[in-house]
A and B are shown apart, each in its own frame.
Chain A
C-alpha cells in the first residue's frame, strides 16, 4: 500500500512540474507578444544578458523532455525486472533530461531536478551506488542555478520578462510561481517521508522475520539431535535383526542336516549287527546328507540363501526335502497337493520352504514321528499348508526359537501360522498365506 502512495506522490510531482513548465511557457509567450505589441523589443534586448529561448521551443521541448522522463518511469515500473541491469543508465538519462529541461527554461527553474532524485531513491539498490547517484544529482541541483551560472556565463533570466509587467501583475506572477515551486518541494518532502516510513516498517518486519527464523533454527537443532539418536537406535536394531537372521540360518540349515545325520546314525547303530549291507547303504545316504549339509553351510555363509530354493522351484525343492528325509531316516514324508500349483514370489516360496523344513525337523527331532504328511492347498488367493506328524506330540506347546521365527516370517507376509498338539496324537503346523499374483 505504501509503495502505491510513493507512486501517487511521484505522479503528482510530475503533474506539478508539468504545470510549472506550462506556466513559465505562458509567461514567456505572452510577454513576448506584449513586448512586440508595444514596440519595446529593442529596449528589451538592451536589458537582457543573453538571447531568450525561442518562445514556442520552451513548452514544446521541455514538455517533450518531461514526457520522456515519465515514459522512462513507466518502462521501469512495467518492466522493472528486465531493465534492472540498465537502471543506472536510466538514472543518468533522467539527470540529462532534467538538465535539458532546465536549459530550455533558461535555468530559471531547478525543481524538476527533484524528479530524478526521487527516481534514484526508488530504483537504485545498494547503498553505495544510491548515494553516489544522489550526490551527483544533488550537485546538479545545487550548481545548475541561474545565479551561479550567470557568474560565469551570460544567461537569459525569465525575470527580465516578468519585469515588463506592472507591480501588481508581478506580485501575482511571482505568487503563482512560488506556490507552484513550493508545491513541488512539499510533494518531494512527502515522498521522502513515505520512503523513510517504509524503510522503518520494513526494518520492523525484518526483525520479526529474523526472530521467527532464529526460533525455527533452534528447534531444528534439537530435531537433528533427536534424529541422530533415532538413527543410532535403528542401526542397533538392524544389527540385532541381522544377528537373529544369522542364528536362524544356522538353525535352519545345519540344525536340519545334523538332525538327519544323527537320526540316520542311530538307525545304523541298531542295524549294524544284523544287517551290514543295509547299514552300509544307509551310511552312504547319511554321508550324502552330510555332504549336502556341508554345501548348505557353505552356501549359507556366502549368501545366506537356501540352496535347494536356488536351484529348484518350490514344489520340487520340497519334494527333494521329503525324499531326503524318507531316504535317510525311518520317517516317511508324504506330500499332497490340491489345486493348481502357482508360481509364488520369492519371499513366499522361502517362507513356505522354511515352514515345511521346520515342521519336518521338529517331527523327526522331537516327535519321533514315523509318518509326516504335508498338505498343500492352492486356492484362488491363498495357499494353505499343513504339516502333520504322528509323533509323540507335547502336552503344552513351548514355542522355541524355530517356531517363533516361523510365525514371524508368516506374519511378515500377512499370513497366519498355528500349531496344535494333542498329547500322544502327533503335532500339526498350519499356515495360511495370501498369494500375491505374479
Chain B
C-alpha cells in the first residue's frame, strides 16, 4: 500500500527536488519503523539462516567442496555426475521416494478421511476413540521406527506371528528388498490419526442446512457424501495433498530403520533426502558440492510439483467470498 503510493508519487513528479524525495522517504520511514522493528528478528533470521545459506548452497552446487579447504568451481559437473557416474543411485533413490509418495500420500488421505467420517457421529463416547486414534501420532518418530523394527523382526517380532495367525506366509519385512518399502508404507498408515483431526474440523465446517436440504431432496448417505461433504472439504484435501507431498518427498525417517546408513537391503529403503545427507556428511570425505546439487534438484522437484498442484487447483472450494 505504502509502496504503491510512493511509486505513484514518483511517477507524478518525474523530476522531484532532492528535498521532496527525501521528505517522502522520511515519511515512509516514520510510518514504517515500528513495523520494521517488530519484524526485524524475522528479517534477520531469513537473511542469515535461509537466504544466505541458499545462495551459498547454489554456489556449492556448481563446485567441488569438501567443507574444509578444497573448493573448486566445476560448472555443471555435479549435475552431469547425477546422470552418469552416479546414475544408478540417483534414480534408485528418486524412484523410491516417488513410489513412496505416490502410494503413501493418497493412501493416508483416503484412510484418514474414512476414519474421520466414521468418528464424525454424535454417539456418546466417540471423543474417547478420536483421542485413541490420534495417540500413535504422538510417538516420537525415532521411537516409532525402533518399535516397528522390533515388530518386523523376522524371528523375534510379532509381525510374522500375526501374519501366520491369518494364514499368511512369513515375511522378511525390512530385511528383504521386495518387502522393505511396502513394510515402511504400512507402518506409516498408523499415523492416520493426524490427518483425521484435520478432516474432522473440515467436516464440522460443512453447514448443516446443506444436509437438511439434501435430505429434503431425497439424497441418501452416499449422495450426501459425494455431493456435499467431499466438495466442501476440497480446501482441506488440497492442504493435505500439498503438505503430504512436500513432506513425503523429504522423508528422512527411514534413516532410523534401514540398515547400512539408511539404505536398507539392496537400497530398497534408500530415500533421496537420506542420500543427500550421506553425500554431505558421511563416507570418506564430505561432498558439500555434490550434496548441494542434489538438494537443489529436490527443491526444484518440490517447487514444480507445488506450482503444478496450485495451477490445477480449480476444483478447490474456498467458501463463499465475503
A and B bound?
A: no
